[in-house]
Structure 1
Amino acid sequence: MSNPTQSPLLELVRPDLRGFGGYSSARRAGVSGSVWLNANESAWRNPADGGLGANRYPDPQPEVLRARLGTVYGVRADQVLVGRGSDEAIDLLVRALCRPGQDAVVIAPPVFGMYAVSARLQGAPLVEVPLRDGVNGFESDLDAMASAAIAHGAKLVFVCSPANPTGQAIAAADLRDLARRLAGRALVVVDEAYGEYSDQPSLARDIDDQPNLAVLRTLSKAHALAAARIGCLLADASLVQVLRNCQAPYPLPSPCVQLALAGLSEQAQALTRQHVQAVRAERERLRVELASCPGVRRVYPSQGNYLLARFEDAGLAFARLLAAGVVVRDMRASSQLADALRISIGKAEENDAVLAALRAGRAAA
């Protein structure tokens, strides 16, 4: 493992946290034995335990899970930080790198809201470089994001690819160029929560060559484990070690770890790949058919498991869908999306329900 004290990447970390050891929990002590009396746990199991051994605290960063995730994403285990969904990693990054009121965070709205939420909670200045809505869909202005990061002294640049809620993916070469331009200045965090559905390759394998590049992944989407709340940050090992010291002592419940390991078996991953292909096919079908529905102004191409659509009356469309029992995401409060809804790709019959509800509007008109 890399020695955190020797990595130039740590110049981006808050000075007061570079040597921060965090809380030394009982499970981080590195000792072993057969009689465990070091964590003030109960020696008896709860009747509802079911064989989990839930009376004992879990491993904060289970090596078997880190190794499995490293294999899945093509990185070393010491480059993996596992947490409670991607959200925890986003929050840890902002808290560890940004001094309140000084170190900025750059985002490109409309985009996933947790980047802004974490920045606000930390008191980090938020710099917005809005997406451009063009004939081919939304696009990120990476040059403007780099310039904004330099001008405002940003420590973090979050780039969502495929972008939520707008659907576009960014070429890997362009993201590598962005990271190179900001080397020594900022960490470029590429959120690949929907990467399994995309045509673009992951940036994870570029971390060794570009240490100021980090990648977010999650088991909540394609791997169908949203309730398990397992996500990870893939980053330079020195940064992973710093973030571990800033993380809660026991972030990963044992049942969730077991779910994750089972969900990443070869058999489970084969089924996941089948489901991803089904989503991609349904995504294209729904995109084409949705565009012909009454009241639909535009449907954007997407590399995720969702479609963004503009409506003549988004409120009416939302109400008609709800009346039919179909719940979609209302995006009208987001910048540039006052007439838009985001529709996740479901099973064929669920997508048919969307179309039926919107087509029913023609008969009601």
Structure 2
Amino acid sequence: MSTPDQKQPDLLDLVRPDLRAFSGYKSARTEALRGDVWLNANESAWSNPADASATSRRYPDPQPAALKAALCGLYGCAPEELLIGRGSDEAIDLLVRTLCVAGRDAVVIAPPVFGMYAVSARLQDARLIEVPLVDGPGGFAPDLEAIAQAVLAQGAKVVFLCSPANPTGASIPLADIEALLQRLQGRALVVVDEAYGEFSQVPSALTLRARYPEVAVLRTLSKAHALAAARVGVVIADRRLVSVLRACQAPYPVPTPCAELAAAGLSPDALAATRARIATVIAERARLAAALAVLPGVRRVYASDANFLLVRFEDAQGAFDALLGAGIVVRDQRAAPQLGDALRITIGSPEQNARVLDALSAQAVAA
């Protein structure tokens, strides 16, 4: 417990000192001005001949209002708590650059995991602390006690947790994330990457925001919402942190066509179709996992809360080649730590999943 003369920890203490009052670049679209002749941004007075909508000559809204409203409704947060960016990748990079002083601060990850956390740390010259996942009877899981000890002993500023995890597929129980937040209050920002959250029954870490300002949640429209090419992702966090991140962000992160497509993709009809497709993926995930588990040459199929399965093979190269020979491209995970015999297989349509099983069955017979 702190004494009266001790300073209470504050979220902004985690931000780089030189950025806490940083105002960033003020673009022409930042000003709330009204008019019918726009001559403030050095844009063309004429549309490009290929621009059928005649709108692309104008710079986009830095945080498109219609899209932001739809996203806030989807995730249950206030506009000031959400920042739209170019996929989760931009949010990851912004968080590392905003919090970590180059050459001094550290980032904690739990490999095998999504590679952009390490890439962003390296680009910022932040020390990378790896606390490997533990492969147990229930699948891969983070060693949260070891993560807490690493933060406290080495002064890390950011912890990335992927839930459901890529490429291993397991979710982290919400109570375990909360326990880590309690341990690290005021010491580090815990970033929970929920890119595959729609496919999981585990409650979102978004429910923790009211009690823990040191949690940030990443979500994306690339997976369940089938808008990978639109490059729309968000970070949801304390409004003070979101304000700093926005100041550090590029002036126009979301192209107008992408924002319009994403907003349309979050309409009630589109969301209803998305929910139906998520249900299909979950059902197909269970069917494919059960079928793979009994195939000769399959060592293990990991339980998954995502839209993919991590599978160990006796002959991973042979399985990869057999699938590729059948026109099926999967993700080779053998270069990742602890995954020297593993492939990651995205859940496709029922017909595509049947082709996966046919190709692997034929390979097993030939072997």
CA distance in 1, matches of 2:329, 2:185: 43
Give the SS at the match of 2:73.
helix
- In the alignment, structure 2 segments of 5+ residues that lack a partner are 1-8
Partner of 2:209: 207
Partner of 1:68: 70
Residue of structure 2 equivalent to 1:330:
332
Query: 1 CA distance for matches of 2:261 and 2:28?
Result: 24
CA-to-aligned-CA distance 1:165-188 (integer Å, 9 cap, x gap): 001101111111211211111000
TM-score (norm 2): 0.96
Q: 1:137-173: CA deviations, max 9, x gaps?
A: 1111111111111111111000000000001101111
CA contact (8 A) 2:161 2:193 kept: yes
User: Partner residue of 1:292?
Assistant: 294
Q: Deviations over 1:49-80 (max 9, x none)?
A: 12151000001111222221111011111100
The DSSP-based 3-state class of the residue aligned with 1:360 is helix
**Runs in 1 of length 4+ with deviation above 6 angstroms?**
none
- Matched residue, 2:258: 256
C-alpha contact 1:75 1:205 (8 A) present in aligned 2: no
1:85-124 counterparts in 2 under 5 A? Answer: 85-124=87-126
Letter in 2 for 1:287: A
Partner Cα separation in structure 1 for residue 185 and residue 45 of structure 2: 50
Residue 230 of structure 1: which of 206, 215, 232 is its match?
232
1:138 matches 2:148: no
List runs of 5+ in structure 1 lacking aligned partners: 1-6
Matched, 1:53 2:55: yes
* Alpha-carbon distance between aligned partners in 2 of 1:69 and 1:179, rounded to the nearest angstrom: 25
Superposed, 1:165-176 pairs within 5 Å as 165-176=167-178
Q: Distance in 2 between matches of 1:120 and 1:52?
A: 41
Q: Any conservation in 2 of the 1:110–1:165 contact (CA below 8 Å)?
A: yes
Which residue number corresponds to residue 241 of structure 1? 243
Question: In the alignment, what sits opposite 2:222?
Answer: 220
What is the SS of the residue equivalent to 1:37?
A: coil
1:77 match:
79
Q: Which residue of structure 2 aligns with residue 185 of structure 1?
A: 187
Aligned residue identity for 1:102: R
Instruction: Look up the SS of the partner of 1:308 in the other structure.
Output: strand
Q: Please point out which of 133, 147, 150 is paired with 2:149.
A: 147
- SS for the counterpart of 1:28 is coil
Q: Matched residue of 2:29: which SS? A: helix
**Matched residue type, 2:263:** L
Worse overlay, 176-185 or 237-246: 176-185
Q: Provide the identity percentage.
A: 64
CA-CA distance at 1:43 after TM superposition: 0.9
Counterpart contact for 2:28–2:40, Cα < 8 Å: yes
**TM-score, length basis structure 1:** 0.97
Cα deviation per residue 1:85-108 (whole Å; 9 max; x = unaligned)? Answer: 000000000000001111100010
Contact 1:293 1:359 in 2 (8 A): yes
- Determine if contact 2:191/2:216 at 8 Å carries over to the other structure: yes
> Which residues in structure 2 correspond to 1:265-284 (within 5 Å)?
265-284=267-286
Once the two structures are TM-superposed, the CA of residue 363 in structure 1 deviates from its matched residue by 2.6
- What is the Cα deviation at residue 217 of structure 1? 0.1
Shift of 1:294: 2.0
User: Structure 1: how far apart are the matches of 2:109 and 2:196?
Assistant: 18
Q: Deviations over 1:83-140 (max 9, x none)?
A: 0000000000000000111110001000000000000111000001100001111111
Q: Match of 1:364?
A: 366
Give the equivalent residue in structure 2 for 1:24.
Answer: 26
- The residue type equivalent to 1:249 in the other structure is P
Q: In structure 1, the residue corresponding to 2:59 is in which secondary structure?
A: coil
Please name the residue that 1:34 is paired with: 36
Which residue does 1:4 correspond to in 2? none
Q: Residue 3 of structure 1 aligns with which residue?
A: none
SS at match of 2:260: helix
Residue deviations 1:297-341 (CA, integer Å, cap 9, x gap): 000000000000000011111011100100000000000000000
- Hey, what's the Cα distance between the residues in 2 that align with 1:126 and 1:44? 49
- Which residue does the alignment assign to 1:197? 199
2: CA distance between counterparts of 1:180 and 1:32? 47
Q: Considering only aligned residues, what root-mean-square deviation do their CA atoms show, in Å? A: 1.0
How many residues end up aligned between the 2 structures?
Answer: 359
- Match of 2:258, SS state, is helix
